[in-house]
């Protein structure tokens, strides 16, 4: 442990990207990736809490075995809007559009993304999609489930499917533009000396995510377009009444939606790589393996989609192939988990809030991932398909994994984004509350599913009530765990301790500039000469 010199108290830089320009126009017409990241942050936080509100209503209904709080159709709308808002308007953009937008150009030593105007356009397209989504909700919402299976959605239901489809297509285009920007930036705008093998793993993960965004999302766009056309013009595409094939819809829908779940988790894994290495003060074990595993997940993720369709009527032969491939896709994820663990071994671990979230991620994502392998097994899937087992699985990976990583990343880069530290004690408390609330909410659901409780039902047999009550109780705890950060993050904007350039003593180009960074990111163009994560025995994290 070096130091010796008295460290002067950090001060806010005089000029930075937040105070460089004032006024609403300077925000709404900005080309600065950092400001665009903040625009996204506000938007997706809104949708996170909106989706959370729907979840709260769902859990409220499920306190009692009878479907007594809402009518069946209304309940269908609740879980549909919960899923749609969470998946398309929160999870898909979450880390890439907020943390990624902010930090990725800094990490590669660039002044901005490759196409700043397209970056801003992507936010506006997202907002148009958000408008359509809200309009749909206001006019009654959709009740098809977020999966829009036909013929329910193509002709049978009377709700505003086409309107919602447009909103989702817009959100999809927004993510395509973000992905396009990231890909070109990583290829063409790295600082001198920054070879691919020196890139932070967060960049590798977001690059892999961007590949998926760019390749998969257009198929969703065309599928939903055909669905909307079928609804409006009654042409035969997916509806058997007109000669269409409903399984074709599922094939095309899941061709996007399965890789989409990797869009959602890969950036989280990138965050975890950064957190583990910083708070263990150790290079990531097996850097190349972790880097290539991101690409492997991106590629393999495209080969497994029909595991959502095992009982839909696909051929047995096809089902077996997809089942095998689905087992294979777990391997790169396992590689990451092993490497993170190995990184921590004999590391110098500091349990700051971001690290708490990272540790939570490793445990919860592992459980989620393992149950995913269980679902990949044909025989077991036939038993638990469309039960709460599936719901528990994907909430473990999405909430226990992705949202946890998102919270960890927000805490980690908050000082870089705002120049201020969040308060550590409330943050640790919130992390703990979230962890407890999450497990209490979703673990009982594994048991419920295995015992046979179907998903998307608002009434259930009496014997399932105890587990459902536990789950709903957990949900209220979880809600507190998410509301607390909202409060103290906002508090920290005014009263948080000034952070200084590098409060964590982390490696990475983003920590070599001021907090908050200047509009053009770096006062001098950085040149990279060393491997990533070169943690020696030097810096100590400024104690909090």
Partner 1 sequence: MSDHSQSHPTPKLYVVIFLSLVVGTCLTWGIAFANLGIFNPVVALAIACIKATLVILYFMHVRYSDRLTMVTVGAGFFWLLILITLSLSDYLSRSLITVH
Partner 2 sequence: MAINQTTTNQTTTTDHHPALAHHFDSMEQQQGASTFGMWVFLLTEIMMFGGLFTAYLVYRIKYYDAFVAGSTSISVSWGFTNTLVLIASSFTMAMSVWAAQQGRRKTQVRLLIATMILGVIFLGVKAKEYYDKFDECHIPGHVIGKGFNSWGGCDVNNPKLGNIAEEIQEKAKQAGATVPEVSAVQTAKQTEIFFSFYFAMTGLHAFHMIIGVGLLAWLTVRANRGEFGPAYYTPIELGGLYWHFVDIVWIYLFPLLYLISRHKHVA
**Residue ranges in contact with partner 1 by CB under 8 A:** 187, 215, 219, 247-248, 251-252, 255, 302-303, 305-306, 314-318, 321
Q: State yes or no: residue 233 binds partner 2 (CB under 8 A).
A: yes
Residues 369, 330 contacting (CB under 8 angstroms): yes
Q: How far is the CB of 275 from partner 2 (least distance, A)?
A: 17
By CB under 8 A, residue 197 contacts partner 2: no
| Radius of gyration of the CA atoms of the chain, in A | 23
CB 248 within 8 Å of CB 227: no
**Per-residue tokens: 158:** 């009377």
Residue 165 or 183 having the CB closest to partner 2: 183
Q: How far apart are CA 181 and CA 384, in angstroms?
A: 40
Which of the listed partners (partner 2, partner 1, none) does 306 bind, with a CB threshold of 5 to 8 Å by partner kind? partner 1
Report the SS3 class of residue 420: strand
CA distances for 124 relative to 35, 44, 86, 99, 411, angstroms: 13, 13, 19, 18, 26
Q: What is the nearest approach in angstroms of partner 2 to the Cβ of residue 3?
A: 18
Among partner 2, partner 1, none, the one that 146 touches (CB under a kind-dependent 5 to 8 A) is none
10 Å CB burial of residue 315 (0-12, 13-18, 19+) is exposed
Interacting stretch for partner 2, rule CB under 8 A, among 11-19, 78-86, 491-499, 523-531?
523-531
CA 38 – CA 27 distance, rounded (Å): 10
Min. distance of Cβ 4 from partner 2 in angstroms?
20
189 touches, from partner 2, partner 1, none (C-beta below 5 to 8 Å by class): partner 2
Least gap, CB of 222 to partner 2 (angstroms): 4
Distance between CA atoms of residues 471 and 59, nearest Å:
8
Q: Which two tokens stand for residue 30?
A: 């900005």
Contact 149, 136 (CB under 8 A): no
Longest dimension (CA), the chain: 79
Whose Cβ is closer to partner 2: residue 78's or residue 176's? 176
The token duo for 522 is 């770096």
Q: Is 526 in the site for partner 2 (CB under 8 A)?
A: yes
Q: How far is the CB of 172 from partner 2 (least distance, A)?
A: 10
Is 20 one of the binding residues for partner 2 (CB under 8 A)?
Answer: no
Shortest distance in whole angstroms from residue 83 CB to partner 1: 24
278 contacts partner 2 (rule: CB under 8 A)? no
- The footprint of partner 2 (CB under 8 A) covers 110-116, 176, 180-181, 183-185, 187-189, 198, 214-219, 221-223, 226, 229, 232-237, 242-245, 248, 251-252, 255, 507-509, 512, 520, 524-534
């Amino acid at each position: 442990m070096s130091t010796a010199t008295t460290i002067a108290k950090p001060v806010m830089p005089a000029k930075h990207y937040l105070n460089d320009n004032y006024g609403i126009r300077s925000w709404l017409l900005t080309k600065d990736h950092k400001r665009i990241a903040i625009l996204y942050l506000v938007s997706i936080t809104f949708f996170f809490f909106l989706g959370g509100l729907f979840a709260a209503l769902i859990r409220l209904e499920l306190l009692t075995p009878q479907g007594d709080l809402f009518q069946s159709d209304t309940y269908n709308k609740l879980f549909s809007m919960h899923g749609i808002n969470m998946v398309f308007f929160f999870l898909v953009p979450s880390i890439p559009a907020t943390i990624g937008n902010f930090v990725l150009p800094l990490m590669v030593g660039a002044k901005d993304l490759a196409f700043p105007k397209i970056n801003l356009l992507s936010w506006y397209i997202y907002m148009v999609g958000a408008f359509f989504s809200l309009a749909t909700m206001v006019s009654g919402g959709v009740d098809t489930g977020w999966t829009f299976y036909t013929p329910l959605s193509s002709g049978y239901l009377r709700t505003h499917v086409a309107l919602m489809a447009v909103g989702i297509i817009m959100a999809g285009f927004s993510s395509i533009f973000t992905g396009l920007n990231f890909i070109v930036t990583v290829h063409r705008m790295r600082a001198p000396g920054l070879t691919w093998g020196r890139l932070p793993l967060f960049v590798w993960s977001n690059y892999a995510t961007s590949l998926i965004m760019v390749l998969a999302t257009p198929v969703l766009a065309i599928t939903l377009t055909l669905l909307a056309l079928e609804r409006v013009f009654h042409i035969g595409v997916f509806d058997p009444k007109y000669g269409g094939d409903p399984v074709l819809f599922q094939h095309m829908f899941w061709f996007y939606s399965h890789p989409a779940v990797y869009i959602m988790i890969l950036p989280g894994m990138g965050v975890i790589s950064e957190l583990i290495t910083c708070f263990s003060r150790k290079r990531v074990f097996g850097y190349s393996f972790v880097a290539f595993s991101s690409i492997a997940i991106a590629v393999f993720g495209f080969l497994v989609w029909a595991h959502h369709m095992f009982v839909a009527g696909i051929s047995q032969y096809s089902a077996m192939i997809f089942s095998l491939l689905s087992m294979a896709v777990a391997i790169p994820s396992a590689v990451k988990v092993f490497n993170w663990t190995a990184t921590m071994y004999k590391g110098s671990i500091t349990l700051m809030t971001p690290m708490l979230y990272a540790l939570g991620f490793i445990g919860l994502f592992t459980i989620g991932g393992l149950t995913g392998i269980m679902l990949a097994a044909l025989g077991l899937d036939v038993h638990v398909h469309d039960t709460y087992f599936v719901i528990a699985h994907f909430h473990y990976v999405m909430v226990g994994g992705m949202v946890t990583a998102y919270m960890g990343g927000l805490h980690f880069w908050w000082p870089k984004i705002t120049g201020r530290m969040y308060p550590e004690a409330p943050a640790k408390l919130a992390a703990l509350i979230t962890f407890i609330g999450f497990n209490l909410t979703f673990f009982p659901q594994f048991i419920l599913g295995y015992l046979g409780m179907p998903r998307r039902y608002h009434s259930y047999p009496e014997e399932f009530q105890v587990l459902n009550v536990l789950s709903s109780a957990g949900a209220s705890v979880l809600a507190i765990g998410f509301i607390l950060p909202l409060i103290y993050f906002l508090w920290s904007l005014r009263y948080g301790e000034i952070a200084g350039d590098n409060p964590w003593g982390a490696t990475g180009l983003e920590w070599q500039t001021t907090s908050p960074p200047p509009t053009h990111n770096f006062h001098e163009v950085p040149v990279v000469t060393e491997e990533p994560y070169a943690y020696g025995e030097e810096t100590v994290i400024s104690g909090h």
